[in-house]
Every structure is written in structure tokens, then in C-alpha cells.
């Protein structure tokens, strides 16, 4: 895993063999952040990274100056890996929660500027993520929800949908609460 830009640019971390995650490719991740940097000021953002996996997206947000990043991951080896990387980088603005992302959405009680959700592509509840996030009121005014998914998902008819971008097999659907 590699951090692409920001304070920790170029840092590489070898993934343990016991991780089940499908890390977002560097090409897709770089494209995602190029899009986001045109819409938001990273330094004033609170970010929620659901289904964090390796923590790659959350760590990239921190490297680029996000104020606070909350990572939610259920699988213990992934949580341990994210914690070890955060410790190595001496990161103090990452809140790491070991738990079910859907339960976290339901009971969170906080709001965020950006929510990134990368559920397993085969997750039968993946298509419900936008509705669950908006029903729970987790996004602030002018907030962004980005859902990573395969071509099998189509969110175009949902409220607040803005656009979808495809980078090989990786698709990002963008939702926005503002104009």
C-alpha cells in the first residue's frame, strides 16, 4: 500500500498476507483525490471511512490534511494493520473503530464533511449505503458521499446523486448535499 500525496507522500507499507481487503488501486485513488480537491478544502474536513479495509483511503485523507478521520472496520487483522500504520506515522487525528459499518451508520450520532464507503462488492447491502447514510443524517451541509462499487451497481436515480466515474473495474458514485 502506498500513500500518494501530502505529508506522508511516497510511504509504502507491506500488506500482511492475512488481509482480505481489495485495496483501491493507486490510479483510482489518485483520480478520486484529484476530483475531491477541486470541490473541497481538505484541511477543514472531518472524514468517515466506512469499510476501511487497509485504511488506504483514510490515511490518504490524513496525509492531505483532513482535520479528523474516523475509520470503521470490522475485521480484526485490518484494524491491527491500520493501527500499526497510524502508530508508525505518529498520526493523532485518526479515530479507529472496530465494528460493523452498517451499525455504525445507524448509531453514529455525528456528522461529517466527507463519507467514503467501500463495502465488499458482493455485499448484498451495498446498494443501500446511500439511503442509510442520508436517512441517518451523517452528512453536513455541502457534504460528499463517495461509494466505491463495481459496474453492477447503478445509483443514478437516487437523491443527491451527482456523477459516477469509472477507473477500470473501480467505480465511484458521488453524492452531494449542497447545490
The domains of the chain, with CATH numbers, are: 42-151+162-176 (3.40.50.150)
Can you give the three-state secondary structure of 113-179, one letter per residue?
EEEEECCCCCCCCHHHHHHHHHHHCCEEEEEEEEEEECCCCCCCCCCCEEEEEEECCEEEEEEECCC
DSSP 8-state assignment for residue 12 = B
Q: Which cell numbers in the block locate residue 17? A: 498476507
State yes or no: pLDDT of 155 exceeds 80: yes
pTM above 0.75, yes or no: yes
Over the stretch 127-146, which tens digit does the pLDDT of each residue have?
Answer: 999 999 999 999 999 999 99
Distance CA 67, CA 36 (A): 15
The predicted pLDDT at position 25 comes to 81
Amino acid at each position: 500500500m502506498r500513500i500518494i500525496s501530502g505529508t506522508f507522500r511516497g510511504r509504502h507499507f507491506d500488506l500482511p498476507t492475512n488481509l482480505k481487503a481489495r485495496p483501491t488501486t493507486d490510479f483510482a485513488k489518485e483520480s478520486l483525490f484529484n476530483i475531491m480537491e477541486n470541490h473541497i478544502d481538505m484541511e477543514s474536513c472531518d472524514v468517515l471511512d466506512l469499510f476501511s479495509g487497509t485504511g488506504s483511503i483514510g490515511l490518504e485523507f490524513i496525509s492531505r490534511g483532513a482535520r479528523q478521520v474516523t475509520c470503521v472496520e470490522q475485521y480484526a487483522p485490518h484494524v491491527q494493520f491500520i493501527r500499526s500504520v497510524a502508530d508508525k506515522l505518529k498520526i493523532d487525528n485518526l479515530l479507529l473503530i472496530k465494528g460493523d459499518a452498517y451499525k455504525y451508520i445507524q448509531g453514529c450520532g455525528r456528522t461529517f464533511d466527507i463519507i467514503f464507503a467501500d463495502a465488499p462488492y458482493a455485499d448484498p447491502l451495498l446498494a443501500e449505503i446511500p439511503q442509510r447514510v442520508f436517512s441517518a443524517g451523517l452528512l453536513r451541509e455541502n457534504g460528499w458521499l463517495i461509494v466505491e462499487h463495481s459496474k453492477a451497481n447503478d445509483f443514478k436515480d437516487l437523491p443527491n446523486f451527482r456523477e459516477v466515474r469509472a477507473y477500470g473495474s473501480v467505480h465511484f458514485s458521488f453524492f452531494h448535499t449542497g447545490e
